[in-house]
Amino acid sequence: MPERYQSIIDVHVILERGHEILLLERQGTGYCDGMLHLPSGHLDEGEPLAHGAAREACEEVGIRIDPSDLRLTAVVHHRQRPDLARVGMFFATGRWDGEPYNAEPHKCGKLLWCDPAVLPSNTIAYPAAGIGLYLENRLYTAHGW
């Protein structure tokens, strides 16, 4: 029997502050350095989606989010390259404890609060697709297929 299809699951967090969201400038990672992304990462084995999103936000920007305060706003089935696809789960919240800061300076150059309707030109296309769905109140897209 052929093996079942498996995909990487990514969790992304859209932190809402008024009419802005938080983006991080990647650096020193080898993937899209100098470009902007949401607080995000890979889901760990056995981890519920919202818990993974809250964990990643804590690791990257030092804030605490109650997973029950996260709402699923978008799902992006992203084809990164012909042999690699991932499923991105985008969560949004305006509730957290602490002030966001660069908790991973070895991976992040700076934090930027931006208008999600006018993303900077150096925003990575994959998270931009999820942010677009969030703005349009649409749940799903296939990106890069």
Query: What is the rounded CA–CA span in Å between residue 19 and residue 58?
Result: 22
Check residue 102 and give its pLDDT: 98
Q: How confident is the model at residue 96 (pLDDT cuts 50, 70, 90)?
A: very high
Residue-level pLDDT at 5: 85
Task: At 103, list the tokens.
Answer: 């908790």
In this model, does residue 6 exceed pLDDT 90? no
Is residue 2 predicted with pLDDT exceeding 90?
A: no
Strand ranges, E, within 29-97 = 36-37, 40-42, 71-81, 84-93
Q: Where are the domains of the chain?
A: 8-143
- Per-residue pLDDT reduced to its tens digit, 51-91: 999 999 999 999 999 999 999 999 999 999 999 999 999 99
Q: How much is the pTM?
A: 0.96
Q: Which CATH number fits domain 8-143: 3.40.640.10, 2.40.10.340, 3.90.79.10, 3.30.420.40?
A: 3.90.79.10
